[in-house]
Structure 1
């Protein structure tokens, strides 16, 4: 592959591109043998940030809601290591709201840093808890989700 054919890595997103943030402390168990937060934990941070926002907004009761969101796609680009102990700030915004799905952009920021240490895409589909079939996002949910749109 020639240099011109190689894909270019995007620049890290900055904090100014978000209006909603959630703080997530790293845990001892997040760190791998290399001394940094393991890559799989970044996806866990994405999931925790989004679902924590749902709960705080009164949109989701994880144990009792009749409808729940399931992750159907996720991805992450890494720019800087996260460590323990550290409080990571997750910026959350919505790229698109579909009839039953939501596409998020999430960025993880190290303490005091303006550029993302990692950023990714996170796709949720709203489903019936029992049969796991997609359901339409209600107007109440849609109004709340629009507050995350940039």
Structure 2
């Protein structure tokens, strides 16, 4: 018996980013290769953090997020030239880490074609040691994306 979770729905994500597939995203089987989904995840998270002014050389925080864990489940294929929407939310904020959850939606589909998570551990930019805490500005931006209980 499978314990696989059903696909997320669009409404579960407070932030959504449009991403177009590229010809190079397809593999020999005619669909987007599995590793490309991780690039979509990374793009959605980091673009949002940059737009909010909490990531990048000019953020002034002195910390950077390193990906230490990632996972993806696939439900239906996407391929070039599909228009995708990547939904983003925050599942957990720790002392120096954040778990993001993401869903990849094809066209106008309401259920995710793929979904997963990744974990950033925030470290001191110079020493690469875990930060003692998340900067307040970063924590505030991330808190706004925390998913409510039973939001799926």
The normalised TM-score by structure 1 is 0.91
Q: Is the 8 A contact 1:100 1:137 kept in 2?
A: yes
Match for residue 80 of structure 1 among 57, 76, 79: 76
Match for residue 116 of structure 2 among 116, 120, 131: 120
Over aligned residues, Cα RMSD in angstroms?
A: 1.5
Aligned residues: 145
Q: Which runs of 4+ in 1 moved over 2 A?
A: 62-66
Match for residue 94 of structure 2 among 91, 98, 113: 98
Q: How far apart, in 2, do the equivalents of 1:118 and 1:26 lie? A: 14
Q: Is the 8 A contact 1:79 1:117 kept in 2?
A: yes
Q: Does 1:148 align with 2:148?
A: no
Deviations 1:71-121 (A, max 9, x none): 000000000111111221111011110010001110000011000000001
Residue 12 (structure 1) aligns with: 7
Q: How far apart, in 1, do the equivalents of 2:57 and 2:42 lie? A: 13
The answer for unaligned runs of 5 or more in structure 1 is 1-5
Q: How far apart, in 1, do the equivalents of 2:117 and 2:70 lie? A: 5
Q: How far apart, in 2, do the equivalents of 1:63 and 1:84 lie? A: 35
**For 1:107, what is the secondary structure of its paired residue?**
strand
Q: Is the 8 A contact 2:53 2:59 kept in 1?
A: no
Q: CA deviation at 1:68?
A: 1.0
